[in-house]
Structure 1
């Protein structure tokens, strides 16, 4: 008889993981089991953890952000966090989610790291507008975040943006000083964060801080479960109808474990690119969200590098009458292809029939060829390039 799929949260993430293996929902994996044991140890150390319970519970996010009074220092013995690193599709997010669900911490938050940084930039901008004579928004920002969460769980920790790199060191130093415990998943080892980017020397103290405050565990699972899932999915659905929409709904659920994502805003060269929903490295948008707006190569590059899969609804027939949208779609496909981003789409026709005649039809031939290749098992087996 199988173990229950949902054991009591008070038992911790390791029993939850073993129950899913016993129920056949997960395949046995030695590396995942080791990570679950490590998370179980952290779960024990965090039970009832609350480094500053005197923070006023009735204060809202913005009110706490504006507060000048510093949060008391964390007591000695603050638990070390965990940095779970490994290749894509190895189960890092799944394991962290099990841990987060079981964590016996009243104030906790689980968020995609990119979204967290977007929230920080927006809050800093609002603070500077209200306090033009004060130069340092980091302490009040850290007060606000630590008042909301003693445990922060970050999915897909990655640093591509110089604006993020410039504030991370001081922000995390302030968060750790306030007793915040961090658990993060990443495809990149700490020593390789922001590697090869201008200004990395100024970023090195942050890497040292991460290695000091977080135990680093390499998840060396042999199987890429994410690529296995998408290899079993049809990725092109035509025509655009109810059946195609249901197929894309099912694909999003299969790839993310969620029926719906949350809105995400990417900042690109000072502009904002909005995705209606995204979760766990999968974004979903309508064709017009990405190709009906004046977006360019840098915008599509941001989409292709931030997400390993794009679910795109409603690609229309293309031609001279809507060539602006067709040209943007060509640029989008080029960015996705170059970074091995996977595409699941609904369209009015197969790739070879999307742009059949008229001026610039020949230009679309390469795009049609790439769209066809992107449905192949060989392409779907390729790792995402960030």
Structure 2
């Protein structure tokens, strides 16, 4: 018989040391490499990106180039920028490439999502975070996005100081660095900070369609609510199931900082969600995006009732400033639902 738990009853405590220990690729990217990234033959930019990242990995550990301020104000020809920026839609393999770089590069090194770095600053303080990370050879930032003015100023300062210390920086995003923040806040008021970020990267474009759904059938329909627990117990015997009401779980997410979501689902093999509803509050929607990322990191299958995941966010959200975040979450949740009901591997 499976073990039953409830995420809504978990309140994880995470120390700063535990946060730092977690700055490495997640379980699903724990053994990826450039060799097992499969470029789409119809998208030559993907193979080009692999080659560029291989070359970048080989360059880490050599001369730093004098840091950001030296490159900006120093004499002579401008040297190479501090880092690379992988720009492309969701599901084209940017995180796979970033994790492959992390595995190939010498240490010390850090790998985390954008929100995990901002959470680290909140836990350690800005100065302590700089002091820790400036001793690293490489800092990888996945899912880079600027959601508010405070993050813009914070990440501008952090990356400028790391770059000036000779740290190599590589980021992935669905938005070009010069367009970060557009549609979310008065980005024009922070043009200088955004430009500082953009100036530190050479952009690599990764084109393609979402690999999670290339040639695959549509997501399965949600199950009847009175069947999902029995279905999950039969489908996943001897596993640990988190069984939660969607409303209760979303209320609980609002009481827990997103930096703790990784620990919130620790040890959970399958998520069973009763009565999924469309989320209408943006702050909650953004928290659920973080939860979706952490579930996807751990390959946690999802069995659910209620609305399908392509109706999880409102049409206004799917067409607004955070649309790329929401599309990514729908893509990942759909992959996890396919795994649970169609026995397909999580893509």
Q: Is this a same-fold pair by TM over 0.5?
A: yes
**Whole-angstrom CA distance in 2 between matches of 1:186 and 1:46:** 22
Residue 307 of structure 2 corresponds to residue 336 of structure 1: no
Contiguous gaps of at least 5 residues in structure 2: 1-32, 241-251, 319-326, 343-347
Residue 210 of structure 2 corresponds to residue 224 of structure 1: yes
Note the C-alpha offset of 1:185.
Answer: 0.8
Residue 134 of structure 2 corresponds to residue 146 of structure 1: yes
**Whole-angstrom CA distance in 2 between matches of 1:151 and 1:298:** 33
**Whole-angstrom CA distance in 2 between matches of 1:204 and 1:236:** 44
**CA distance change for structure 1 residues 314 and 184 in 2, over 3 Å: closer, same or farther?**
same
8 Å CA contact retained: 1:92, 1:185: yes
Note the C-alpha offset of 1:108.
Answer: 0.8
**Whole-angstrom CA distance in 2 between matches of 1:232 and 1:333:** 10
**CA distance change for structure 1 residues 142 and 47 in 2, over 3 Å: closer, same or farther?**
closer
**Whole-angstrom CA distance in 2 between matches of 1:234 and 1:74:** 55
Residue 283 of structure 2 corresponds to residue 302 of structure 1: no
Determine which structure has more spread, i.e. the larger CA radius of gyration.
1
Give 1:123's aligned residue: 124
**CA distance change for structure 1 residues 79 and 49 in 2, over 3 Å: closer, same or farther?**
farther
Calculate the aligned-residue CA RMSD, in Å. Answer: 4.5
Note the C-alpha offset of 1:216.
Answer: 1.0
**CA distance change for structure 1 residues 312 and 96 in 2, over 3 Å: closer, same or farther?**
closer
**CA distance change for structure 1 residues 198 and 98 in 2, over 3 Å: closer, same or farther?**
closer
**Whole-angstrom CA distance in 2 between matches of 1:303 and 1:229:** 30
Give 1:169's aligned residue: 156
Give 1:275's aligned residue: 261
TM-score, normalised relative to structure 1: 0.53
**CA distance change for structure 1 residues 314 and 275 in 2, over 3 Å: closer, same or farther?**
farther
Give 2:199's aligned residue: 212
**CA distance change for structure 1 residues 333 and 41 in 2, over 3 Å: closer, same or farther?**
closer
Contiguous gaps of at least 5 residues in structure 1: 1-15, 53-72, 125-137, 250-265, 317-328, 351-374, 376-386
Note the C-alpha offset of 1:95.
Answer: 1.5
RCO higher in structure (CA 8 A, sep ≥6):
2
TM-score, normalised relative to structure 2: 0.58
**CA distance change for structure 1 residues 278 and 220 in 2, over 3 Å: closer, same or farther?**
farther
Residue 232 of structure 2 corresponds to residue 241 of structure 1: yes
Give 1:85's aligned residue: 87
8 Å CA contact retained: 1:74, 1:178: no
**Map 1:231-380 → 2, pairs under 5 A:** 231=217, 234=220, 236=222, 238=228, 239-245=230-236, 272=257, 275-276=261-262, 287=273, 297-306=281-290, 307=292, 313=302, 335-336=312-313, 338=315, 339=318, 340=327, 341-342=330-331, 343-344=333-334
Q: Deviations over 1:86-110 (max 9, x none)?
A: 111111111222222111x221111
Residue 36 of structure 2 corresponds to residue 20 of structure 1: yes
Give 1:184's aligned residue: 171
**CA distance change for structure 1 residues 169 and 142 in 2, over 3 Å: closer, same or farther?**
same
